Amino acid sequence: MRSLYTNPYVNCTKRNAKQPVKGCLAYVKENAFLLLGILVAICFCLYGLMGIYGFTAYPDEFGYWAPAARILGYDWSQITALGSFYSYGYSILLVPFLYFFDSSILAYRAAVILNLVFQCSSFPLIYFIIKKLFPETLNNERAIITSVSVLYPAWIFYTQTTMTESILNFLVVLSIFLFMRFTEKPSAIRGLLFGITLLYSYFVHMRCLGMIAAGFITLFIWAFGKRKHAFSKKYILVIILIPIMFAASFIIKDKVVEVLYQGTSKEVLAWNDYSGILYRLSKFLSINGILNFLKDLCGKLLYLGFSTMGIGYFGLALLTKKSLKFIGKYKKKNAGERDYLFFFIFLVVLMQFMVALLYLNGASAIDSDRLDNFLHGRYIDIILPLLFAVGIPEMLACKHLFKKFVIFTGLELTLDAVAFCVIADNLTHMNDVHAFTMVGMSYFVTTPLTNTMAYLIKESMLHFAICIFVFVVVYLYRRYSMQTILIFLIVVQVILGFKACEHFIFDNQSYIYGDVVLGQKLEEIRDRYPDRRIIHVYEKGVPYIGIIQLENKDASICAINAEFQDIDLGQYLDEDVILILDTGGKYMKEADAFYNDDWILAHLALFYQEE
């Protein structure tokens, strides 16, 4: 006989057991597009991870690992001296990988995974920023816009290297998110977290000075724009603390330079720090300098448009409009949280753009042969995801979309014409290019770059085709309310990101692997002959010796710089010396005649005497 008694606790347990499952499924359904974006980022990174063996950008990446090595007690100063100063904030995060992994490959891949964590963490941050700025947008719209922003091709590329740009993208987003939280509920702790984030971004790369300036100005305006009853002295302490900590960073920087860069000339050091700022500013004091500045501005604005599929102009226009409105509201003391947030984002974009122009002043001069300095993106790539985040909502909701599209297309055609003129007037037609610093305009770059005009024509044709495609997607969304059609914007970003990674990372890793194998051979030789000195003669070009040093982290490698002056190799030829030369260099024959054993792989050649 079936019992009529029912245990309420058992039924309650069974009923509630299904709730987490339903809740989880509901969460996934509600955030499907955001989770899809995160999944794409993870899959993209893991797809290429097992084929990555070391540095893509020399000597930049090595410069970020060197302070980490010094923290652990290793002396890489001889190799570090071949390059310029590359700051130290990112190096702190690399210390655990250098400590726990003996293999340079594993250490490097672990650092790439860390970059992926930063990239994935940016998805929810940008999502909530968009929600704050554009509360009228729908959930799926915000999620797709977030994915388009974070899956920016340059961000995808930098995530798979140990360049600082990946973490800088995250820090820019984090600083804006923290400022948003601070204005929502002001407190000294939130203000301090915001200030620390800004300062740490400067420690990661000194060219983030624009972020500190933007944060300091906005906090100062916010503090003195509050009504008296809402004002507190503790906020002033936070504002004062930022310049104090900023000043302290110079002491740390001088110590790092003293330890790691004692062999680097002042001219080389001045390229990446502020000791050469007076010289750069002096260029503006002539008519020719002003003209070069205007041409430089056109080059950077052209990159901004090309790398953002034209969306960046919509974002920049919206930020400018919101900032002008903010000034009026501020005077009346009725500026709200969103107004301050728009103004802060505007200042970040403006200040970082000005820093790029200052550092690369004169890039359009007739005797400047570097195309990437003229169409430079690396210094502003960290702010371009923000322009996606504000530009797409503007396109989706603005009045007179077609009219604005035509105006911005006309602007780009004008900037494109200026770029053609600058290249045509250049003495070398700017045929030298470090294309990884202009990822957003690198899809038709060839090495060597023999025809710059043909390159720019192809790049322009691709860009305007993409712009038309973006306009059609946005038009169909506005006409038929098709949210899912916006996914095509993500598809474009992923395709361009894959193209960039394939060109700059995947295609070159077989050679990098050869350098790693040579480093492993050096390690074996050192085990047999621990007392032998290791000498590297650097002639010119890329200092590939960096990957050898990373693989032999406890080795002290003496670097002889023969880039500008020939050396007498005979004084270094000795049975107790392990000699490393550039493959194909002028000293190869002399070394080969002296040593009876050698390994020649990829970019370097290793000579030693077997007993």
Where a domain ends, among 504, 525, 555?
504
Distance between CA 408 and CA 30 in Å, rounded?
Answer: 35
- Give the per-residue pLDDT at 280: 66
Pair (446, 541) in one structural domain:
no
- 3 state SS of 160: coil
- Give the per-residue pLDDT at 365: 92
Phi, psi of 161 (to 5 degrees): -130, 175
Q: Which residues of the chain have pLDDT under 70?
A: 1-23, 27, 226-235, 249-250, 253-280, 282
Pair (294, 433) in one structural domain:
yes
Pair (229, 341) in one structural domain:
yes
Q: Give the bridge partners for 593, in sequence order.
A: none
Where a domain ends, among 455, 486, 504?
504
Alpha helices in 261-359 (DSSP H): 266-272, 277-282, 287-307, 311-331, 337-359
- Give the per-residue pLDDT at 79: 92
In a domain, 37, yes or no: yes
Distance between CA 416 and CA 332 in Å, rounded?
Answer: 42
In a domain, 91, yes or no: yes
- Give the per-residue pLDDT at 14: 44
* Residues 525 and 608: beta-carbon distance below 8 Å: yes
In a domain, 23, yes or no: no
In a domain, 279, yes or no: yes
In a domain, 27, yes or no: no
The amino acid at 310: G
* Residues 84 and 264: beta-carbon distance below 8 Å: yes
Pair (482, 596) in one structural domain:
no
- Give the per-residue pLDDT at 456: 96
Pair (447, 583) in one structural domain:
no
Pair (468, 536) in one structural domain:
no
In a domain, 17, yes or no: no
- Which has the closest alpha carbon to 159: 100, 112, 195? 112
In a domain, 54, yes or no: yes
Pair (563, 602) in one structural domain:
yes
Pair (396, 286) in one structural domain:
yes
Pair (273, 291) in one structural domain:
yes
- 3 state SS of 577: strand
The amino acid at 229: H
Pair (497, 515) in one structural domain:
no
Q: Which domain holds residue 248?
A: 32-504
DSSP letter at 444? T
Instruction: Give me Rg for the CA atoms of the chain.
Output: 27
List, in sequence order, every beta strand (DSSP E) within 477-541.
Answer: 533-538
Pair (326, 470) in one structural domain:
yes
In a domain, 6, yes or no: no
Where a domain ends, among 474, 504, 534?
504
* Residues 87 and 261: beta-carbon distance below 8 Å: no
Burial 523-551 (b: 16+ CB within 10 A, else e): bebbeeeeebebbbbbbeeebbbbbbbbb
Cα separations (Å) of 483 from 195, 390, 474, 492? 37, 17, 10, 16
List, in sequence order, every beta strand (DSSP E) within 471-529.
Answer: none
Pair (464, 513) in one structural domain:
no
| Number of independent structural domains in the chain | 2
Cα separations (Å) of 583 from 505, 519, 575? 21, 14, 21
pTM: 0.90
Altogether, the residues listed in the chain come to a count of 611
